[in-house]
Structure 1
Amino acid sequence: MNTVRLEVEKDTGVAIVTLDRPGRLNAVDLEMAAELGAVWRGLRFDDSVRAVVLTGAGERAFCTGIDRDAAVPQPSSPYMQDDPLLGVGPKANGLWKPVVAAVRGMACGGAFYLLGESEFVVADPTAVFFDPHTTYGMVSAYESVLMADRMPYGEVARMMLMGSAERISARRAHDIGLVSEVTEEGGALAAALRCAAVVASYPPEAVQGTVRALWAAKEAARAQAFAQAPQLIALGNLPTQRQAELFAGRRSAGRFRLR
């Protein structure tokens, strides 16, 4: 059963990539990670697609990161950590066509791998953003690096350090630059499609060159930060069993930060 849906609107040149595990809040398991990589690589060869919209199925979540039931064996060395989410984004798979993310509901933790590799984010008022890593004894490394490219330092530091105690509303996310537009409820996908259709109507070489230039502007710093992430995670993460205990004992969602 596919966990990623791909639809192509031939008239507009826009593809819609949908994370399709609503029963698991669109959490990424190993199957979905592999499918996402294959989808992005396939879109490199489809010249009928000139822009992409990325969204999640259902109303509760865009994506809640890695599925906690996913078994990811790790080498013992802190220099050789395996992270299946490093391969789920379009840029990681060499796709330089513009990607617009449409967010409804929760976007947290590993969702930032996808948002971080999108050109911009459109959200409806139900969208909330947070990173629970520190709450459960895990280092927020790659997520922090990617969001540091999107938000002022103090804002991303607060999000990552406050963990699950605080969720950023769509309006606050817009105020700090993570989100480019907040729509009416249920309108994020339509708004993202409108933007993507405009971009897809322009000469693709110019658009893709611009995407590549934008990415190059922050590529060197991100690569240096990513190089430190495996050791930081290996040194800072609690043992897996203790993480699971903290997760099992989690309380209700934290406060919403509206402003």
Structure 2
Amino acid sequence: MDDSFALNKANWDERAALHAASPDYQIKLFIASPEHLSEVVRFDLPRLGDIRGLHAVHLQCHIGTDTLSLARLGAQMSGLDFSAASLEQANRLASTCGEYIEYVEASVYDAAKVLGAHSFDLVYTGIGALNWLPHIDDWARNVAALLKPGGRLFLREMHPVLMTLDQDCEDALQMIHSYFEHNEPQIWDDENTYVATDTPLTATTTHEWNHGLGEIITALLRHGMHLSALEEHTSIPWEALPGQMSLGEDGEWRLNNQPERLPLSYTLQAVKAG
């Protein structure tokens, strides 16, 4: 696991500056408009509800665009990530926008230890995060430990069914990867990141893991969380299946052919027992 984290950390350290410079992350819009929110947070605004005054933490926050968006909605935000380079960009963005956000460098598996148990009203995890974690139970344990009694987890994530598909097949949906969590990671070697850039990565190897929806929910229940909402979506914020998707005005990608046949992402909410 340590080797996997080291490989992934090196990869994300390289991505940070490239992502901050990319129009996809809309850094200039954040700076120019104090009311601007990330497309990921805007998508879930009806589900988030009023978060003003809540003490909240964004786990695996990357360069902090979703974190800043939640702060702009009135939450008192902290952010945690294992990539120092990502947090450097996140701090720079928050400072430029005049927003105080406490950023902490640590593994999500150490979140409760470094941030303090029973400290938060809201734990937020954005899309594209859980696939970098080998064991979902350790994540759920930290989520539950971070929350005050009655506190809420808010999770938007890519659907584990999507993770099973062959992304290189442009004319069919072919399941070739594991749906369930397993010890051995999916190993990728790719010099590209998911934003347009002329700079190739040098830390090209990454390790990922899938976690079935039942495994995620069961882990949360095991650690004293109660499921309060689960909504599956026919959209996702990036072109997950090249050649088979179209971009909507809301910044979400959907299948061209029968989009209702495949869940691409989901929003899950759970509450810690009071």
Greater strand content: 2
TM-score, normalising length from structure 2? Answer: 0.25
Greater helix content: 1
